[in-house]
Chains A and B, each alone.
Chain A
Amino acid sequence: MQAGIGTEHDLLIQQKKKNVNKKRLDTWLLLLPTLGIFIFFFLLPLFFLFITSFKSFDASTGVGNEWTLQNYIKFMSDPFYLGVVWRTVKIALLTTLITIAISYPVAFQISRSKGRARNYLTLLVLSPLLISMVIRCYGWVILLSNNGVVNNTLLKLGWIDQPLTLLYTELSVVIGMVHVLFPYMVLSIMGSLEKIDPSVIRASQNLGASSFRTFFSILLPLTLPGVFAGSVMVFSLSVSSFVTPAILGGPQVKVMSYLTYEQVAVMLNWPYGGAIGFLLILIATITIIAYSKILARSEKGVAIQ
């Protein structure tokens, strides 16, 4: 009898081991297609480009065989290129700040509305996401060009005598970028607004605080994590975005992504384009790490309160 139980027990253990092995195999089978494509068409290409960025380049013979740090040194020692880095960061910062300023009221309005109105407003805010970025930027070209809507209106009103140069400036890039990235910020702020208990706001009002005071001492601190999270997303997307600066800034307002494109597609200087690309990745990564540190701290702050 006891021996019988023993063998049954052993069998069970064996069965379990088999199941575990089978499960392990299953797991890798589930992951295999995604992992395979990511290794072959994402990691490997980036790795090879990274290697290329340390190769020499000659305009007449192309990519050389020598190893060099020249591409990185050239970029970081030239004031023109450093100016491009500064412009890229400046545009991203301005975009983030303006996006916060205009997203907050909209997120607040949506989070307070109910039923149909809420659905329509959400759809309205998200709808630009669904329309091609190229087309939206093109719409801004029509609006901002020298004989575009904005200039014509201002001329007719008599506010200006001659058309302003709006297109192909840092301003037009920022406007386009705010338009493209706005929904991400609204969604993020809405998320943290919805977590706030409405009675907190009522309490503050009942205690006689003005709406101004309620906003700055209650609402804003409680939604800071959402604002930060949205900022990380908007900042990093805007630092690395290509379409908007290419269409609304062009060669006149060069940012790092455009520089990368230009070096590769026009100059055929792969090593230099690669080097700029990896510096761009570095900037995006540093900001994300810095932001997430701040985010972690601000969340702690809220938790303590």
Chain B
Amino acid sequence: MSRRLPKYFFNFVCLMVYIFLLAPIVVVLLSSLTTTEYIVFPPEGLTLRWYTELIEHPEFMQSFTLSIIVAFGTAIIATAIGTLASLAVVRRQFKGKTAIVQLVGSPLLIPSVVFGVALLQFYSWIGLAASPIALILGHIILTVPFVMRLVVASLVGFDRSIEQAALNLGAGPMKVFFQITLPIIKSGVIAGAIFAFITSFDDLTVALFIVSTDVVTLPVRIYTYMQYQYDPIITSVSSIMILFTVVLMLVIERVLGVGKVFSSKN
């Protein structure tokens, strides 16, 4: 009995932590169903009114589309250039390698507020106005470190004799890359792309500085909306975003297996 007691206590502590983790998410989902004009939890009554009300706020839909475009663009470019750079870093010896690795990893250490401020100043000097391209360029800096970490991890321990064999059999370097190398490091590359997509889709800090009145990403839209209003519209938008992420994860799980994606992270 006395041996059991710590175990029950331990499990109880873990349970409390899991509740803590899920609480804010559950609260957002459920409060979007309230019939009241203000946000309340537990919701009073059940209605989908706040979802239909979204139709009268097309700006949320516009922001959602913009966020998707930016996140998609970021994921594709960051993964492509990050994979190429990873190949150079893992397989080639050259001067200044450490410096380059440190440079590419440093956005993780630089507070993104400072980067956002710096980028805004730079953009206004070179005359690059708020646009999906301007946002994508900023997000590439934030996400390439993740991509490279994941791709480098999947390149270490790669058996190069397979590539050598293909080359000896007369395949061109391009063919070797797309038919041999890429399929083998696939899980690292895809995990990198997913990370890049999510990071870009979620970014508030850098986007907050770059956006203009008609180019506003969804996190910025939600942030500015809730500074002035406190109605359940915001919870319905948030719930749609949560459901979108869940669906995305389910698709990835079906195609790849979540375990694989996360295991390649270590």
A-to-B contact residues, CB < 8 Å:
23-24, 26-28, 30-31, 33-35, 37-38, 41-46, 48-49, 52, 102, 105-106, 109, 119, 122-143, 147-149, 179, 182, 187, 191, 211-212, 236, 239-243, 246-247, 257, 260-261, 264-265, 270, 273-274, 277-278, 280-281, 284-285, 288
Pair B205/A243 contact, Cβ less than 8 Å:
yes
B-to-A contact residues, CB < 8 Å:
6, 10-11, 13-14, 17-18, 20-28, 31, 39-41, 80-82, 84-85, 87-88, 92, 94, 100, 103-104, 106-107, 109-115, 117-122, 125, 137-138, 140-141, 144, 198, 201-202, 204-205, 208-209, 219, 222-223, 226, 234-235, 238, 241-242, 245, 249, 258-259, 262, 265-266
Known A37-B137, A119-B259; contact A142-B28, beta-carbon cutoff 8 A: yes
Known A37-B137, A236-B109; contact A131-B117, beta-carbon cutoff 8 A: no
Chain B hits for A126, CB < 8 A:
262
Pair A34/B219 contact, Cβ less than 8 Å:
no
A298 to B23, CA, bound (A): 36
Pair B27/A132 contact, Cβ less than 8 Å:
no
Chain A hits for B85, CB < 8 A:
30-31, 33-35
Chain B hits for A105, CB < 8 A:
10, 13-14, 17
Chain B hits for A33, CB < 8 A:
80-81, 84-85
Pair B110/A281 contact, Cβ less than 8 Å:
yes
Pair B104/A38 contact, Cβ less than 8 Å:
yes
Interface contacts (Cβ under 8 Å), in number, total 220
Which residue of the partner chain B has the closest CB to A194?
Answer: B266
Pair B88/A31 contact, Cβ less than 8 Å:
yes
Which residue of the partner chain A has the closest CB to B92?
Answer: A27
Pair B118/A135 contact, Cβ less than 8 Å:
no
Pair B121/A45 contact, Cβ less than 8 Å:
yes
Known A48-B118, A135-B242; contact A242-B107, beta-carbon cutoff 8 A: no
Of B82, B92, B205, B219, which contacts A23 at CB under 8 A? B92
